[in-house]
């Protein structure tokens, strides 16, 4: 609470809410999808869900390592390369990880992300990153919710194409 007795929130708490809400929605969208479903593309030329999830994990690793170097567990060997722009057009499931493997890597990275969020001094959130799309450390953490939500809109299209009901 502030001096007037009004409840207040700090940067860390606000960032955590954004990350948690995105996780809730995104994991719900993925929960009942199979490995085969994750290879579906919402439209020709768009990335399949498997690639998107791998890209999101690799991006989270890279961004959080920029914010707090050394805080994340290493990605599996070749993971980032498997989910690079050069692989986005590949439709062979054997070129990618299974849903189970992806979510295991995700859980480890997300645990590290949240630990980094809890450990960072409040004044470091304003530190500049030199990145256009995330100009501060706070923005790097904010991206861990918003980036996932940006991609999940495509998953909703795939879910509806498959006849699944809306979740939210």
Whole-Å CA distances, 69 to 21, 116, 119: 25, 10, 12
Element housing 23 (H / E): helix 11-31
Please check the confidence at residue 6 and state whether its pLDDT lies above 90: no
- With a pLDDT cut of 70, the percent of the chain lying above it is 96
Q: What domain range includes position 83?
A: 19-161
Please check the confidence at residue 77 and state whether its pLDDT lies above 60: yes
Please check the confidence at residue 19 and state whether its pLDDT lies above 60: yes
**Residue 72 within any structural domain of the chain:** yes
**Residue 135 within any structural domain of the chain:** yes
Residue (of 52, 45, 44) closest to 26 by Cα position: 52
In this prediction, residue 154 carries a pLDDT of: 96
**Residue 49 within any structural domain of the chain:** yes
State how far the Cα of 6 lies from the Cα of 107, in Å rounded to an integer. Answer: 35
CATH assignment at residue 143 = 1.20.120.450
In tens, the pLDDT along 80-115 reads: 999 999 999 999 999 999 999 999 999 999 999 999
**Residue 78 within any structural domain of the chain:** yes
- With a pLDDT cut of 90, the percent of the chain lying above it is 95
Please check the confidence at residue 4 and state whether its pLDDT lies above 80: no
Q: How many domains does the chain have?
A: 1
In this prediction, residue 9 carries a pLDDT of: 76
**Residue 7 within any structural domain of the chain:** no
**Residue 88 within any structural domain of the chain:** yes
**Residue 128 within any structural domain of the chain:** yes
**Residue 8 within any structural domain of the chain:** no
How big is the CA angle at 160 (ends 36 and 156), to the nearest 5 degrees?
80
In tens, the pLDDT along 24-63 reads: 999 999 999 999 999 999 999 999 999 999 999 999 999 9
């Amino acid at each position: 609470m502030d001096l007037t007795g009004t409840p207040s929130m700090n940067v860390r708490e606000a960032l955590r809410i954004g990350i948690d809400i995105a996780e809730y929605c995104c994991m719900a969208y993925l929960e009942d999808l199979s490995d085969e479903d994750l290879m579906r593309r919402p439209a020709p030329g768009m990335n399949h869900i498997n690639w998107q999830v791998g890209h999101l994990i690799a991006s989270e690793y890279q961004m959080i390592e920029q914010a707090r170097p050394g805080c994340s567990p290493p990605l599996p060997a070749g993971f980032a390369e498997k989910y690079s722009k050069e692989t986005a057009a590949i439709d062979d499931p054997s070129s990618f990880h299974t849903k189970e493997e992806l979510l295991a890597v995700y859980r480890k990275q997300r645990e590290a992300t949240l630990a980094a969020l809890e450990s960072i001094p409040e004044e470091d959130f304003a530190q500049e990153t030199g990145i256009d799309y995330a100009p501060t450390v706070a923005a790097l953490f904010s991206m861990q919710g918003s980036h996932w939500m940006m991609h999940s809109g495509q998953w909703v299209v795939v879910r509806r194409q498959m006849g699944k009901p809306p979740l939210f």
